[in-house]
């Protein structure tokens, strides 16, 4: 702390930017960890629930118990697309569903749209982590270079090359590199971890979409 207080305004500004990046990154890490953990947990539970039921209308009644799963959103959008076409002449929902090729295409588009929206939701704020991991070391390096320049200027002004003159300036300069790495490393590790988990969820969404479409296509066609 003493070295930071003795440092120049450029180094202090670099440290302030790095502190901001680090604090925001940790806030995003805790938030995304909670969101993705819930999504994985509820997706597993929803898949078990979905295959345990024999009717889509019964599945739709239990969606509120799996609200954090992206698969729930896919099912809801696909099921609503089916209901949009499955009404009798009086406008009431039919208990036995029928479908045609045009409706299957509509359901497929609804599922793809839901997949895109859910992936965007899961990836929200990850760009900040990637940016922090990329630029934080360079900001720290900039502060270090600036501090070393100041140290050489001090050498030129004093005409002394003793460690007593050089060491304080260089040690102050190296602080920014250390803080830059402290900000960047957790951001990079967290980003890679979250991307891996989101890719797994995306694979589950794709598999569920295909299975849901297969169910829709196996329904009896409308006469």
45 class by beta-carbon count within 10 Å (0-12 exposed, 13-18 middle, 19+ buried): middle
**Cα distance from N-terminal residue to C-terminal residue, the chain:** 79
What is the average pLDDT across 8-14? 80
What is the average pLDDT across 134-160? 80
So what's the pLDDT on residue 165? 59
Task: Report pLDDT digits (tens) over 46-97.
Answer: 999 999 887 888 899 989 899 999 999 999 999 988 887 665 445 554 444 4
CA distances from 176 to 24, 101, 182, 190 (A): 18, 62, 10, 22
Pick the closest to residue 79 from 114, 41, 46, 48 (CA basis).
114
So what's the pLDDT on residue 132? 96
CA distances from 80 to 6, 59, 115, 202 (A): 64, 12, 15, 21
Chain-centre distance for alpha carbon 125: 6
Task: Report pLDDT digits (tens) over 176-196.
Answer: 888 999 999 999 999 999 999
Best mean pLDDT range from 36-50, 85-99, 142-156:
36-50
Q: Check whether 123 has a pLDDT greater than 80.
A: yes
Name residues whose C-beta falls within 8 Å of residue 7's C-beta, 6 or more positions apart in sequence.
Answer: 15, 147, 172, 175
pTM above 0.85, yes or no: no
The mean pLDDT of the chain is 84
What is the average pLDDT across 196-211? 94
Distance in angstroms (rounded) separating the CA atoms of residues 49 and 41: 13
Answer whether 42's CB lies under 8 Å from 66's CB. yes
């Amino acid at each position: 702390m003493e070295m930071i207080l003795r440092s120049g305004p450029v180094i202090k500004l670099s440290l302030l930017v790095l502190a901001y990046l680090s604090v925001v990154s940790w806030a995003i890490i805790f938030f995304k960890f909670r969101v993705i953990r819930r999504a994985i947990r509820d997706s597993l539970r929803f898949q078990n629930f979905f295959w345990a039921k024999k009717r889509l209308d019964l599945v739709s009644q239990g969606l509120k118990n799996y609200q954090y799963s992206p698969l729930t959103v896919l099912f809801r959008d696909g099921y609503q697309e089916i209901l949009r076409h499955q009404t009798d002449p009086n406008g009431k929902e039919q208990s036995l569903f029928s479908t045609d090729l045009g409706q299957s295409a509509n359901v497929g588009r609804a599922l793809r749209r839901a997949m895109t929206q859910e992936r965007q939701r899961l990836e929200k704020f990850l760009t900040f982590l990637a940016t922090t991991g990329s630029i934080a070391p360079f900001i720290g390096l900039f502060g270090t270079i600036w501090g070393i320049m100041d140290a050489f200027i001090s050498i030129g002004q004093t005409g002394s090359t003793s460690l007593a003159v050089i060491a304080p300036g260089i040690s102050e300069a190296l602080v920014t590199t250390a803080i830059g790495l402290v900000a960047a490393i957790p951001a990079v590790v967290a980003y890679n971890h979250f991307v891996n988990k989101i890719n797994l969820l995306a694979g589950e969404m794709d598999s569920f979409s295909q299975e849901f479409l297969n169910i829709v296509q196996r329904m009896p066609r409308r006469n």
